[in-house]
Chain A
């Protein structure tokens, strides 16, 4: 790899041993993928995946201390994934005890580390940092050192920024060094699609189900998706962005997709069209039967498969403002039809703190509160990742949450049925 004199000096330890190790990590990481150079990070802000003070991640905190003590903090401010705890979310006495005293006992200490190293502000904890309300929205072509699979795939696909699927810690090291290795999704060649996905469904495909199907099929490759534009209204409006947020998160968690192109919708697909498709690209056809096959393949790992759900999580990744408003209307209408005033299952809608603040300014906040639905900034995944929560029958329409926890997946329509009418068996 060609290094500039400044980069070589850092690698040679002329700016200290710790920064040399940071550069060594990034250079070795790049060399594995044939990177030709270390290029400057050009986005205003970074985004880190690690937001949780899990006792089990002690080695990460030790490494952070090494960076802080040696004065190697981030050169750019950053947002981070959602906090793992929120008193608004229903939990038992035992869960609270385990959360605070065992699992997330390092939360306060870790948040202090993040302050020292460069977090944007105390509310910058969300997986949807790219929402307008949060303000970490990179421009097309900007080079990022982000992690968080759902944010990376959104930044690459919907915003046209350039970022590899970096791991936690590598994300931070990019903004400590100020450089990232140029390979993969940072290059024009790496952004070419090696799959063409043809959508041939008879109705708008469920975002989280379609994302899951494509993720499991193409894994880490780049898909070029035809036939979805007609279901998204032909333009990248707020509703389409919300759809692609959920779709992308499923492609990234059920597979390892870091970039997708949607014909006539996403910025590079609009600009370059089918020129983005690599020669010899494979084809995957998605029709109603294929989506049903994928849906039926999900294992239900609840001990009692017909248990009554005790909790419903919506918002993994965090909900957008228009999604919160849409769902408020849906829940209100669903309850009205059922002759009820409150949801049948304790239900939590999660969103970024800044999005929740905006939502609170709308008349819909009071309407949602009346239905009994709770809003929270929590990370549902972090809430679920312990044996106590894992034993709870939790339902969700998030395919990411389904993948990483015991939560059971239902489509949006089925979730609405469950929380307003208490039905929707499958």
Chain B
């Protein structure tokens, strides 16, 4: 078991299984099929991301360095949250990028019942330590606990 501390972008506590991307998450490429064609599991459609491609993202503790790609990224995340297809939480090893921040804040400000805790700046060690299917607990104050 290991504990990490980051910065809170969107508040909340949650427990979920880890899903780890070591490369940037291309939000549009990853979520577009899930949003368009009713895939409630939000299966990742980004062919360039071998860590995530074909895996369920909805309900997972998505651990990643940053998001990349199209500037639809924030609204895609906002829509995923509104439709209940978002990850349980998003945990960034690096300081959050502008598109992911937009999605997290839009969902937090404009949606009442679709919370998605978002923590950033967890550090390189976090991403090196966390593995798929680890049990992740997000606590108050940006504390993230990972255990096998």
Measuring CB to CB, which residues of chain A are less than 8 angstroms from any residue of chain B? 21, 24-25, 28-29, 32-33, 49-50, 54-60, 63, 103, 147-149, 152, 164-171, 184, 219-220, 252-253, 255-256, 299, 301, 385-387, 403-404, 406
Contacts and interface: CB of A to CB of B under 8 A. Distances in A.
B6 interface: no
Contact of A169 (B33, B47, B66, B74): B74
A60 B79 contact: yes
B70 A49 contact: yes
19 contacts: A21-B109, A32-B105, A49-B75, A56-B36, A56-B79, A57-B35, A59-B78, A59-B111, A103-B36, A147-B71, A167-B75, A171-B71, A219-B24, A252-B69, A256-B68, A385-B36, A386-B36, A403-B26, A406-B47
A184 B33 CA distance: 31
B132 to A, nearest CB: 21
Given A49-B70, A256-B67, A299-B48, 8 more contacts: A32-B101, A57-B35, A57-B75, A165-B98, A165-B99, A167-B99, A167-B102, A255-B24
B144 interface: no
A59 B83 contact: yes
A167 B98 contact: yes
Interface in B80-117: 82-83, 96-99, 101-103, 105-106, 108-111
A81 to B, nearest CB: 9
B106 A256 contact: no
B90 to A, nearest CB: 13
Contacts of B48: 299, 403
Contact of B101 (A29, A169, A299): A29
A29 B75 contact: no
B41 to A, nearest CB: 15
Contacts of A170: 74, 102, 106
Contacts of A58: 79, 82
A33 B98 contact: yes
Most A Cβ at <10 Å: residue of B33, B82, B98, B106: B98
A165 B97 CA distance: 9
B2 to A, nearest CB: 26
A168 B72 contact: yes
A404 to B, nearest CB: 5
A220 to B, nearest CB: 6
B102 to A, nearest CB: 3
Contacts of B67: 256
Given A29-B102, A167-B99, A301-B47, A60 B75 contact: yes
Contacts of A220: 66, 68, 97
Interface of B: 9, 24, 26, 28-29, 32-33, 35-37, 47-48, 66-75, 78-79, 82-83, 96-99, 101-103, 105-106, 108-111
Contacts of A57: 35, 75, 79
Contacts of B68: 219-220, 255-256
Contact of B29 (A49, A165, A184, A403): A403
Contacts of A301: 47
A264 B114 CA distance: 49
B98 A166 contact: yes
Given A60-B75, A301-B47, A25 B69 contact: no
Contact of A219 (B9, B35, B66, B70): B66
A299 B101 CA distance: 29
B39 to A, nearest CB: 11
B71 A49 contact: yes
B24 A169 contact: no
A54 B71 contact: no
Nearest to A152: B71
A59 B86 CA distance: 14
Nearest to A57: B79
A54 B101 CA distance: 23
Contacts of B36: 54-56, 103, 385-386
B69 A403 contact: yes
Nearest to B34: A56
Given A49-B71, A54-B36, A386-B36, A166 B102 contact: yes
B69 A149 contact: yes
Contacts of B105: 25, 28-29, 32
A148 B69 CA distance: 10
B71 A167 contact: yes
A15 to B, nearest CB: 16
A32 B96 contact: yes
Interface centre among B67, B73, B75, B101 (most CB of A within 10 A): B75
